[in-house]
Structure 1
């Protein structure tokens, strides 16, 4: 596989463990006292509970009933954060003072981050780019540096890291990517956003075709019937809805954003198909609950209301 640059916009189950924290307080989500969110590494709606969760450099945060909550301990730096029906998958680095190895490899949690199940490459690899099927639990990862099991390239696992297969990526001819999105139930369907458009695969990443009328795409999310992706074109940021059945692409109502503040993350509530959330490069967070008719800015440049 050719070398792929990432962050192009920015020139067998393991052992169940609880991370070590300086605090002896019972792990929980508490109303956030901080007024700023920084370094967002992923968003989504884990556990089929309908609550938005974001992964930051300093742990997880939850948005529920118009209020932000943060964890009171175990503030790990979750990279490649991917919610699924029973919890979330992630990679990254443990918080300072933790007994966990660094990097985390591939881990999962089914209790909101209270404990981590070490799935693969623990203490060896930090996957910045992961994609996971919300229902299927199929996982795709871009490995940027060789490790004990992988060369560089795109890999897939259908058994939570027990076995990995390297994808051939025929037809993918972009050199810079944004993210990986996996269909919630179709294990072999995934899409990759790139500076040259959206590339979609229906055979587990062995071959890709480009979605027509897609240009510089910074992020994409796949729901059951449609994909939503964000482009930079003609000096503006524009969301598009891609219908899988017709393969047609249509403009989607988009928050007003400056061209230097592109959308980096997109997610949809699996309990409500009309609810979408996007995060921008400047840490603005917008949410719609009526399929784009109106957008509410719930975070402005990382600042949350007290």
Structure 2
């Protein structure tokens, strides 16, 4: 119950007590014939009317305040991340964007919101320097074919361009070069542009696709990241570590073997962030030229690990990640400290105080 509702309830109690007290005084004077008592009864009657209207007004206030408390809370429930299908920063670096089954959710200046645009179920979400690429499924009632195939939006989902394979394929494992826009996908089954399952890449926004040989990897990739500008450089995460290719995914070498590699991300400098699990969750940053890694401090998880991560393209100090259990964290000091902004899908907004 809010403070306003408590206050109105107390006022109502006071008016009721006043009304009862005056009523009793009037009843005590009912049979008297003295002039001064008649005058007192008239004054008390006026006070009784005031108490009555005050009581009525306070009761109405309680009803209104209670309704606003109940329905206002229902209308402004915190945004829930039903699923987390990706994570990235907006092109201006001001917002964290998360596709959450029922459209994008955005976190900016301590507050969560649902941006404009159709509530598509985006999969393979890949932010770039002029929007994002994705796959997935159309929102209920949409005229778009299911699955979406390959799409691109320049304005956080307000508008969208179909790049192909609509109604054919949903790419869950997909990565796009932040500046180059080369697209890599793990194709689950043959379609009209890909003759078989496997790793493919496109340099022309899905117009044509080339199959990669993927030599050196004999397990199913669990995560994938593409160098921001070098179209030939690709990293994939697997249950037994990280593999790097410098020839469009035709051959790979293992560059990390720290247990499961659950999340990968190339920042604009070409450094590779690796989220994984080996006895416990970890996050590290690697220089792929010399394969030297730097361990970053993250909160302690229980039976959880990083599934998506990103660094702000405008502010290198900001890093964000989401876990399998739908916890979301942001750091504004390159990982020295972290703020939790979603707990098991329940978003957490900062309380705004008046200056």
TM-score, length of structure 1 as denominator length? 0.85
Q: Is the 8 A contact 2:243 2:256 kept in 1?
A: no
Shift, 1:114, TM fit: 1.2
Q: Aligned in 2, Cα 1:57/1:212: closer, same or farther, shift over 3 Å?
A: closer
SS at match of 2:208: coil
Candidates 168, 180, 186, aligned match of 1:136: 180
Task: Specify whether residues 148 and 51 from structure 1 end up closer, same or farther in structure 2 by C-alpha distance, changes over 3 A only.
Answer: same
Q: What is residue 164 of structure 1 aligned with on the other side? A: 209
Count of matched residue positions in the alignment of Structure 1 and Structure 2 = 273
Unaligned runs of 5+ in 1: 1-30
Corresponding residue number in structure 2 for 1:95: 139
Residue in structure 2 matching 1:125, options 169, 175, 179: 169
> d(CA) in 2 for partners of 1:169 and 1:215?
21
Aligned to 1:269: 312
Higher mean alpha-carbon deviation, 47-56 vs 120-129, is at 47-56
Query: Which residue in the other structure is 1:279 paired with?
Result: 322
Larger Rg: 2
1:252 to 281, 296, 317: 296
Report the Cα distance in structure 1 between the residues aligned to 2:297 and 2:288, rounded to whole angstroms: 19
Contact 2:116–2:157 under 8 Å retained in 1: no
Partners in 1 of 2:312 and 2:224 — Cα distance? Answer: 18
The question of whether the paired residues in 2 share the 8 Å contact of 1:213 and 1:249 is answered with: no
Aligned to 1:10: none
Q: CA deviation at 1:36?
A: 2.0
Do the aligned residues in 1 keep the contact of 2:231 with 2:248 (CA within 8 Å)? yes
Counterpart secondary structure, 1:71: coil
3-state DSSP of counterpart to 1:62: strand
Higher RCO by CA contacts (8 Å cutoff, separation 6 or greater): 1
2:198 to 130, 144, 153: 153
Deviation for aligned residue 1:275: 1.1
1:5 paired residue number: none
> Secondary structure of 1:137's partner?
coil
Rounded to whole Å, the distance in 2 between the matches of 1:252 and 1:216 is 17
Superposed displacement of residue 60, structure 1: 0.4
Q: Does 1:292 pair with 2:338?
A: no
For the residues of structure 1 that align with 2:78 and 2:191, how far apart are their CA atoms?
38
2:86 aligned counterpart, secondary structure: strand
Kindly indicate whether the alpha-carbon contact (under 8 Å) linking 1:37 and 1:56 is maintained by their aligned counterparts in 2: yes
* 2:161 aligned with 1:112: no
* Aligned residues: CA RMSD: 1.6
Shift in Å, 1:72? 4.9
Q: Deviations along 1:53-103, whole A, 9 cap, x unmatched? A: 111100001111111110355100000000000100000000111111111
TM-score norm. by structure 2 comes to 0.74
Q: Is contact 2:78–2:348 with CA below 8 Å preserved after alignment?
A: no
CA distance in 1, matches of 2:230, 2:169: 27
Matches within 5 A, 1:177-256: 177-223=221-267, 224-233=269-278, 235-256=279-300
Q: Is the 8 A contact 2:79 2:113 kept in 1?
A: no
Per mean C-alpha deviation after superposition, the further-off stretch among 220-229 and 291-300 is 220-229
Question: Are 1:75 and 2:138 counterparts?
Answer: no
Residue of structure 1 equivalent to 2:59? none
- Whole-angstrom CA distance in 1 between matches of 2:262 and 2:85: 14
Distance 1:90 1:202, change over 3 A: same
Residues 105 and 122, structure 1, Cα contact 8 Å, conserved in 2 = yes
Structure 1 match to 2:85: 41
Cα distance, 1:256 vs structure 2: 1.2
Gap change, CA 1:229 and 1:212, over 3 Å in 2: closer
Q: Measure, in 2, the Cα distance between the counterparts of 1:305 and 1:279.
A: 13
Verify: 1:65 aligned to 2:65, yes or no.
no
